[in-house]
Structure 1
Amino acid sequence: MQDINFLVEQKSGTIGMNFDEVKATLSNGLEEYRHMTFTEDSKTEAKKTVASLRKLKKTVNDKKNEVKKSFMVPYTDFETKVKELDKLIDEPINFINAQVETFERNRVEERKRLISEIYDEVIAENEAVAEYLPLQRIYDSKWENATTTKKAIKEAITEHIEHVEKDLATIRAMESEFEDKGLEKYKITLELSDTIGSMNQYQEQKEEIIKCQKEDEERKRVEEERKKEAEQLIVPTAPEVPNELFTQEKEEFVKPKPCTDTIRYEVTADPFQVVQLESAMREYGIEFRRV
């Protein structure tokens, strides 16, 4: 379509009226009324004057509205024609936009297929990384731009894969018995520092459990030794003395009640929870032993 120039020619209209004459008359009359003192006798004349001025005001405003309406006629006609042109212009705009949008959608879909093909090609050579690095984890919408080359997309995907391979090698080089848990963590976060921190935490928990088990075994050993020593120190029972030999009435002995109670619990927990439970009991000064 050739260029179209929209030309508008506007001629300024003029409106004639006796503005100066009416203004001068009103100004003189206002000056006269300012120095006038109204009485009962002049009240009727004053009312007539007010009515006359109100009539004049109405006439002036009526004329204003009439002239405005007349002046708006060419503009209203101009506006109607402009709206008609708007509709004619919108038709090709909407048609062209629809075609462009359809083309852009098809182009993006084709681009997505290309990105997927590039990913499959690169990941096929690095299958060990595939479960950690699906395409959606690294997808960049910038790859959909027409200005992004196939080479740039391949390089970006390769960079991600090499980074993950390096992290996996680091995790396995630690030779930790908690490597499986570390790899599960890495699969979720793809963060090496988080993974190592998680593996170290498992190791610390294990060491704490082993420490508590050794302490428990040592307590049991000490208790057994004390029990044996106590059995060896038992004094033989003295021979019975006939009651008639006592001249004084035997006083009854009342055994005092213990200040503490011994309560048995059955607890179902994993080793780490047991460590936490025993740590809490130690904190509160509770004596305990494993049965």
Structure 2
Amino acid sequence: MSHLLNSLPSEHEVECMVEPFVGSASVFLNTCYRQYVLADNNADLINVYRHARDNPALLINILRRLWATGHNESIYQENRKTFNTLPSGPEKSALFIWLNRHGFNGVCRYNKKGQFNVPYGRPGNCILPEQDILNFVRKTERCHVTFFHADFQDTLRVVTEGMFSSLRCAIYCDPPYLPLSATSGFTAYTGEGFPLQTHVRLAGILTRIHALTGTPVIVSGSDTPLSREVYRSFRLQELVVRRSVSASHHSRMNAPEIICSL
């Protein structure tokens, strides 16, 4: 995280950070910009953030009930089935948190029907993330945050033609990684996947925005020949991180990454 934070423009240089792939919101939680545009193509994730901000007490109370039931294979399967049939709302957002805490390796994955399909993870003593939610809420109270459920192309339009085009913005992208090898292409984060051609499209859009507006752009990615080819017009900084979320226990290891900047 420290390498990434050092690559971002300072809070004095830009007013607004735009994140088309907000994920765990770690950049949001570790920076102090005046405004944020936090977006993701995963509607369940964005709904969690909205419910946490708008009614944290309700979300936490539902989570307490879920945690009180304990966890095993049968409970997990039942909660996953319920999650996949519920409409959007606080109950579904609480289940999304519960499933991610109790699912295999912390993975978030959907099948082609858009159903959450991560198997049970036998997580041991899994702590209710009440303090994490409260920390998130306190951060939203110290700045202006706009949440979007949108793909990256629609999100990035706010920089050039939307309501934030008059602000000094920066863009940080943490898209699903290009695979380290032919057997590690685990990218079914939304049920739609994120293939090579989508990375190429993202890189092209970011390059055009930077050329048109001078907007600082930062992208995190796996250090692979494919990544270096796609982001060849960017400045590349190499680093090594320990992957903490994966589809395989065996791939929890140090892995090369790059930070790509314009």
For the aligned pair, the TM-score class normalised by the smaller chain equals under 0.3
**TM-score, normalised with respect to structure 2:** 0.16
The structure with the greater share of residues assigned to helix is 1
Q: Which has the higher contact order (CA 8 A, sep 6+)?
A: 2
The structure with the greater share of residues assigned to strand is 2
